[in-house]
Structure 1
Amino acid sequence: MSNNKVIAIEDRIPKLKQMRRQKANRRFILYISLFFVLMLIIIYFQSPLSKVQSIQVSGNIHVRSNEIIKLSGLQIGTNFWKIDLDDITKKVKEHEEISSVKVTRKFPNEIQIVVKEYERVAYLIKGTHYFPILETGKILKKDKLENIPVDAPYLMNWDQSEELQEMAAELRLVPPSILNRISEIHLTPEKADPLHITLFMNDGHEVSATIRDFANKIKNYPMIIEHLPKGQAGIIHLEVGSYFEAYGKSGDEEIESER
């Protein structure tokens, strides 16, 4: 048997030894990093940072933020990660004035609730009080106002009914520039048209129309007004076609303005 000394492969190939050392160092660094990450996670879940510290509400106009937070059931100090976002969304959306809700977590400990309210398309007048009417046709009887609102027309002689819901749905489709011209809307049913309505405009004109397809027909109002004699007030009929009837004129003296 040969007495020659056996030389280790690491001595014969120094680069291989260095590579193994680097690999061991990287493995060590990885284990240390994982250890510290796990420690940070444990510390985070044991600290106040993992509890809800802030609840932010946005998108609301008429519904108060504290009312929305109360509906959500959220409380400061609740575990940030145990919150059921879908359940909160469902609870907040039960409010009659809220049409949509989006609830999100914002790291490290903030909950954001973004809502969208149903539009208030008109106000129902009863006595000296004004009750908002939503685009769904719902009358908000608990939100009666004593100050005269100016952001939507007034509805006269209306009750909670299918007619009101249909009227609200039509008003939602009316452009704001035209909606702002309407002062009052009266339900004035006729034998031939149970859905007949009478509008009093801010410019002194009167409009005779029907609820069905009202939003589409009232869009012609600005064009009709442009073709009327200056200073001449009267009734604009929008039931079938559209024409103008000056106050004090007989049927044969009606002025046709638009068809």
Structure 2
Amino acid sequence: MVKQLPVLKEKKVKKNTSRKLLLILLLLFVVILAVLFFRSSVSKISEIQITGNDMVAKEELILKSGLHVGDQFFGTSKGTIRDRIRELKAVEDVKIELQFPGVIHIDVQEFPTVAYQISQENGQIAGILSNGTNVLLQKDHILVEKPILTQWKSEDPLLAQLCKQLALIPDELLTDISEIIPDPTKAYPDRIKMYTRSQFEITTSISLLKDKVEYLNKVIETQQPGQITMLAADTYKPFDRVTSDIEQEKETTQ
């Protein structure tokens, strides 16, 4: 009797070896692409764009950012760039946008300018920001109608308080004020004197300025030039009456 031989099973080729080889080739390909990418001009910074700056020069902002054209595009984080630029006293906030390939856009938000100051030594004009920072104006800066601060010392803490108050007042309520000088007394250590372009002389205090400025504008719009006091009580005298009072005082003292 003839016995039937068993059917031999074909040996299956193991796929593990081929998968490992494919993975190695894939990783090698990725490494080669990465090397080629970081060596190419596509991976470099090609342009640094600055917007929003008015008081701080573009060159100063780029220098502070630590960025250079030709550096690696992904070499520095947006947070690091933002922190560097915010160290500038004139800068309130910064937004960074990476625009691939190669463009870094920096949008700067400065503290608003609330007044100007003229140096008595060289006549240079500086912008005074809402945080009290003093910034020399660039040559192409266009002056707008802001008060001139005179007789103020840069280290005076009342100067910073005044700047904060000015920043809280709408621009249209400040356009007529031409000059602000310190005029302290024992009763009002933060008292100030202001002069307007419409020939008024105002005495008030820094702490009361924001609340009193609307009254000031109503008087200016309806009355002839004179002296306005805005302290515990509000008073107004036209200059002809002020002159008359001064003459009467002279007569009584003679």
1:200, 1:206 within 8 Å by CA — same for their partners in 2? Answer: yes
User: 2:226 corresponds to which letter in structure 1?
Assistant: G
Point out 4+ residue stretches in structure 1 off by more than 6 angstroms.
none
- Could you tell me how far apart the structure 2 residues matched to 1:218 and 1:40 are? 69
**1:67 matched to which residue of 2?**
60
> Offset of 1:182 from its aligned partner?
0.6
TM-score, normalised relative to structure 1: 0.73
Query: For residues 79 and 250 of structure 1, what CA distance do their matches in structure 2 show?
Result: 70
2:73 corresponds in structure 1 to 80
Q: Which letter maps to 1:123?
A: Y
Mapping 1:236-247, distance limit 5 Å = 236-247=228-239
Q: 1:179 to 1:41 in 2, by over 3 A?
A: farther
1:224 to 215, 219, 229: 219
RMSD over equivalenced CA pairs, Å: 2.9
1:32-73 C-alpha deviation (Å, 9 max, x unpaired): xx99x9599545444211111111111111212121111111
* Partner of residue 132, structure 1: 127
5 Å-filtered alignment, 1:21-100, equals 42=34, 43-100=36-93
Q: CA deviation at 1:125?
A: 3.1
**Residue identity in the other structure for 1:97:** A
Q: Give the 3 Å change call, closer, same or farther, for CA 148–248 of structure 1 in structure 2.
A: farther
**DSSP 3-state at the match of 1:103:** strand
Q: Is the 8 A contact 2:55 2:138 kept in 1?
A: no
**In the alignment, what sits opposite 1:173?**
168
Q: TM-score, normalised by structure 2?
A: 0.75
- Aligned-pair distance for 1:101? 1.0
- Between the two proteins, the alignment pairs up a number of residues equal to 215
Partner Cα separation in structure 1 for residue 228 and residue 51 of structure 2: 42
C-alpha distance in 1 between matches for 2:146 and 2:186? 29
Instruction: Name the CA shift for 1:41/1:214 in 2 (closer, same or farther; >3 Å).
Output: farther
Measure how far apart 1:198 and its partner are: 0.8
Distance in 1 (CA, whole Å) between partners of 2:208 and 2:77 is 43
Letter paired with 1:52: I
Q: Could you list the runs of 5+ residues in structure 1 that have no partner in the other structure?
A: 1-33, 254-259
Q: Is the CA contact 1:131–1:144 (under 8 Å) kept in the aligned structure 2? A: no
Report the equivalent of 2:202: 207
Shift of 1:219: 2.4
What is the alpha-carbon distance in structure 1 between the residues aligned to residue 77 and residue 110 of structure 2?
22
Shift of 1:248: 3.7
Report if the CA contact (8 A) 1:103-1:113 is conserved. Answer: yes
1:101-180 paired onto structure 2 within 5 Å: 101-127=94-120, 128-140=123-135, 149-160=143-154, 161-180=156-175
Per-residue deviation at 1:208? 1.1
Q: Percent identity?
A: 29
Instruction: Tell me the secondary structure at the aligned position of residue 152 of structure 2.
Output: coil
Q: State the AA in 1 paired with 2:147.
A: P
Cα distance in 1 for partners of 2:234, 2:110 equals: 35
| Contact 1:52-1:109 at 8 Å conserved across structures | yes
